[in-house]
Amino acid sequence: MVATFQRTVTADWYTTICLPKVISEPRKIITERRIILQQDNASLHTAQKTRQYLTEENVELLDHPPYSPDLSPNDFFTFPKIKNRLRGQRFQSPVDAFKNAVLDLPANEWNKCFENWFDRVQMCINLRGEYFEKQ
């Protein structure tokens, strides 16, 4: 039997567990650059506690439309890429499997993701905000 632990993802978890890890890694590598974060409009992302934490850490937020899969790196890159890597396998801990698959992606793949993201932002501007993924 595999034990599963269900946890509610809250602003408390986001600001004490998740964001410190996300923010500390780039700062270890590149101390002279600023950090700009794009996140969706989930309640834990827009919570006062989250906004306050990001302000204290000098993290800039890049606005994100309410629902825009064309501009979400998770929708056009991370989830499809990881689904392909994990397809057809069974895992004792799906969360750990996902985390390890994300961490195993080489830097050049992430570079392609963000180059693609800039192209997608420009395409969105050119199409005046219309969705283009299915076109």
Q: Where exactly are the structural domains of the chain?
A: 1-64, 67-135
Helix and strand element counts for the chain (H, E): 8, 2
Q: What is the pLDDT of residue 27?
A: 56
- In this prediction, residue 2 has a pLDDT band, given cuts at 50, 70 and 90, of very low
Q: Is residue 123 within 8 Å of residue 132, measured between CB atoms?
A: yes
User: Distance of alpha carbon 121 from its chain centroid, rounded?
Assistant: 16
Q: Is residue 111 within 8 Å of residue 123, measured between CB atoms?
A: no
Reported as a single tens digit per residue, the pLDDT across 38-97 is 787 788 888 999 999 999 988 988 776 666 777 888 888 888 999 998 999 888 888 888
CB atoms within 10 A of CB 26: 13
